[in-house]
Amino acid sequence: MRIFIAGGSGVLGRALIPLLNAAGHEVAATTRSEVRAALLSRLGAAPIVVDALDRDAVLQAVGQARPEVIVHLLTDLGTGSSASNARLRIVGTRNLVDAARQAGTSRMIAESISWVYSSGAELAGEAEPLDPDPAEPRRTTISAVRALESAVSEIPEHVVLRFGQLYGPDTWYSRDGRYGQDARAGRLQTTETVASFIHTADAAHAALLALGWPSGIWNIVDDEPAAGYEWAPLFAAAVGAPEPNTPDSGNIGRPVSNARAHDTGLVLQHPSWREGFSTL
Ligand SMILES: NC(=O)c1ccc[n+]([C@@H]2O[C@H](COP(=O)([O-])OP(=O)(O)OC[C@H]3O[C@@H](n4cnc5c(N)ncnc54)[C@H](OP(=O)(O)O)[C@@H]3O)[C@@H](O)[C@H]2O)c1
């Protein structure tokens, strides 16, 4: 199939391109940077330099590529700004969906996040509503996720992948990533909040399988949601840092269920962060 990865130069796109090539697909992938365009070529994708916030440029790029599938992996987390990432989710997704409709692309697979459910102890499945009344900055994040998921559902075949916290080489959760550096500097901020992780290799594999999944929402998380006081000491040890403190925040978080993806045939290479942190 002809596949267009919006945000192909990011941590997930770089893992996905070789998987798509190995499965025989023809891949085009976007970046805003000429330097990363060369990286995309080396990975096996036809590079397209485009800013997702430039509506005309997105319409033109997708119109020329005429993909059968768009994989939407646009995120703007480089600066850690939830506002700029929310803008990309809202405006960038709008542009991409309109471009897909204009080009006759009938399938879209989109990256979303799994930490969108209200706090609680019960496992959250995909049918559970998004947290209805969060405080800022979470309010901005949730309303942008809502906008992204709603826009993507305008495409006839649409798969939304709600990923857990991505970890693995080149992510924030790696030896030289943001949290690895924080941990070694004694600044790792963890709490008792329950989080769900997913290794980038498993996230990319899920995106590959999603080419054949029915429309809908899928939590893509590992088998072991965990509180900060469980995972943070092992993360710190994995990246050569001292044991961090995990103060109380009053937020118990929410464990997320991966039953739907599991029942659809997703077999995880790293079913738990306990073993997966050894790859950092
Ligand atoms: N679920 C999660 O936990 C999650 C998800 C994603 C990322 N992250 C974290 O964020 C960190 C950064 O990851 P990353 O490098 O993949 O993300 P990123 O730097 O934010 O970029 C993701 C992709 O989006 C593209 N992009 C961003 N803004 C764009 C725009 N305005 N127009 C067009 N393309 C745009 C980037 O292209 P350019 O080449 O133009 O920059 C890149 O291809 C990672 O360390 C990871 O841990 C976490």
Ligand 1 atom closest to the CA of 8, numbered from 1 = 43
Average pLDDT of span 41-53:
98
- Return the half-sphere exposure (C-beta side, CA atoms, 13 A cut-off) of residue 34: 0
Note the pLDDT of residue 189: 83
Ligand 1 atom closest to the CA of 10, numbered from 1 = 16
Identify the helix (H) or strand (E) that includes residue 146: helix 138-152
Ligand 1 atom closest to the CA of 167, numbered from 1 = 47
User: Structural domain boundaries of the chain?
Assistant: 2-169+198-222+256-269
Note the pLDDT of residue 170: 95
Amino acid at 249: S
- Name the pLDDT band for 259 (thresholds 50, 70, 90): very high
Residues 31, 34, 40, 44, CA torsion sign:
positive
Nearest to 175 by CA among 241, 233, 234: 241
Q: Which pairing describes strands 226-227 and 194-195: parallel, antiparallel, or unpaired?
A: antiparallel
- For residue 223, what are its two tokens? 């088998």
Strand segments (E) across the chain? 2-6, 26-31, 46-49, 69-72, 107-113, 157-163, 165-167, 194-195, 197-199, 216-220, 226-227
Which tens digit of pLDDT belongs to each residue from 170-220?
A: 999 999 999 999 999 999 988 999 999 999 999 999 999 999 999 999 999
Q: Does residue 148 sit in helix, strand or coil? A: helix
Cα(170) to ligand 1 centroid in Å equals: 11
Which tens digit of pLDDT belongs to each residue from 72-128?
A: 999 998 776 788 999 999 999 999 999 999 999 999 999 999 999 999 999 999 999
- Name the pLDDT band for 265 (thresholds 50, 70, 90): very high
Cα(167) to ligand 1 centroid in Å equals: 14
Cα(75) to ligand 1 centroid in Å equals: 4
* CA–CA dist 91, 87 (Å, integer): 6
Note the pLDDT of residue 58: 98
Phi-psi region of 265 (alpha: psi -120 to 50; beta: other; left: phi over 0): left
pTM of the full structure: 0.96
Ligand 1 atom closest to the CA of 178, numbered from 1 = 45
Instruction: Check: CB of residue 135 under 8 Å from CB of residue 250.
Output: no
Average pLDDT of span 25-38:
97
* CA–CA dist 90, 54 (Å, integer): 13
Q: Whose CA is nearest to atom 39 of ligand 1?
A: 31
Cα(7) to ligand 1 centroid in Å equals: 7
Q: By CB neighbour count within 10 A (0-12 exposed, 13-18 middle, 19+ buried), where does 151 fall?
A: buried
Ligand 1 atom closest to the CA of 76, numbered from 1 = 20
Note the pLDDT of residue 77: 82
Ligand 1 atom closest to the CA of 77, numbered from 1 = 20
- Name the pLDDT band for 247 (thresholds 50, 70, 90): confident
Nearest to 205 by CA among 270, 114, 149, 119: 270
Note the pLDDT of residue 80: 67
Cα(31) to ligand 1 centroid in Å equals: 10
* CA–CA dist 218, 253 (Å, integer): 19
Residue 158 CB partners (closer than 8 Å, separation 6+):
107, 108, 109, 110, 152, 215, 216
Question: DSSP letters along 66-112, please?
Answer: --SEEEE-----TT--HHHHHHIIIIIHHHHHHHHHHHT--EEEEEE
Cα(94) to ligand 1 centroid in Å equals: 17
Q: Which pairing describes strands 2-6 and 69-72: parallel, antiparallel, or unpaired?
A: parallel
Note the pLDDT of residue 249: 86
Cα(73) to ligand 1 centroid in Å equals: 7
Which tens digit of pLDDT belongs to each residue from 206-218?
A: 999 999 999 999 9
Looking at every residue in the chain, the average pLDDT score rounds to 96
- Using CB distances shorter than 6 Å, the residues near ligand 1 are 7-13, 30-33, 36, 51-53, 73-78, 88, 113, 163, 165-166, 171-172, 177
pLDDT at 238 over 80: yes
Indicate the fold that domain 2-169+198-222+256-269 takes in CATH.
Rossmann fold (3.40.50)
